[in-house]
Amino acid sequence: MINIAIDGPSGAGKSTVAKALARELSFIYVDTGAMYRSIGLHTRRAGVDPADKEAVIALLPEIAVTLSYGEDGAQHVLLNGEDVSFAIRENEISLYASAVSKIPEVRTFLLALQRDMAKANNVIMDGRDIGTVILPDAQLKIFMFASPEARAKRRYLELLEKGQDVTLEQILAEIEARDEQDRTREVAPAVPAEDAVMLDNSDMTIEENVAYIRSLLEERGLH
């Protein structure tokens, strides 16, 4: 099986590029961030402070996160059977996801599911510690990044299209806050794997990202 790991900070375009690449290659796309967002959503709904480690751990036995794929290949995220694919994209959930993902028990809770998918399928998986922790033996590892300003603008436009009332300044502040959280957390910090290809896509289109990664696969004889 061919495994591609795409890591990087929030708003770098990992999911958008990974989805497009998966469609082109007919690979399974695994959005690990959506899994953490689902746990973050459940935490918020339960009225639990995501920084309260023991309280979050206590919620895990009542959480079931599964992925399903439509005929168009789009991934749907189910939380206890409910399709939360849109609900988990609310901006506030991003911070909940970052907080709960610091908890080792939460990461262990999802790790087996993620690895089993990679063993059984050609997958493209994106997140923050795919190449370092989840799929350390992936044949291709990409660390995708962009300036905070470029990422904030992308996220701002995305949320406006969805009708959310946000400001560019608010999005930039939240991205910078999450970057700091992800860089400094003790468990699986968002840092590149030693053998990752660094990709600064601040000024690249989605199509250019996909073409570049496909060229890397061809160079390595993986496609």
Q: Is the pLDDT of residue 188 over 90?
A: no
pLDDT at 72: 64
pLDDT at 167: 93
**17 to each of 8, 198, 214, how far by Cα in Å?**
12, 15, 11
Asked if 125 and 5 touch (Cβ cutoff 8 Å), the reply is: yes
154 or 73: whose pLDDT is higher? 154
**The two three-digit tokens of residue 177, written as one number:** 């806050």
- pLDDT one-digit tens code per residue, 76-128: 899 999 999 999 998 889 899 989 988 999 999 999 889 988 998 899 999 88
Name every residue whose Cβ is closer than 8 Å to that of residue 184 and which is 6 or more positions away in sequence.
none
Residue found by looking up tokens 């990087």 in the block: 8
Asked if 28 and 22 touch (Cβ cutoff 8 Å), the reply is: yes
51 or 188: whose pLDDT is higher? 51
- pLDDT one-digit tens code per residue, 132-181: 999 999 999 999 999 999 999 988 998 898 888 889 999 999 899 888 87
pLDDT at 73: 63
Asked if 48 and 97 touch (Cβ cutoff 8 Å), the reply is: no
pLDDT at 184: 78
- pLDDT one-digit tens code per residue, 4-23: 999 998 888 898 999 999 98
pLDDT confidence band for 42 (50 / 70 / 90)? very high
What pTM value is reported for the model? 0.76
Average pLDDT over residues 42-61: 97
pLDDT at 28: 86
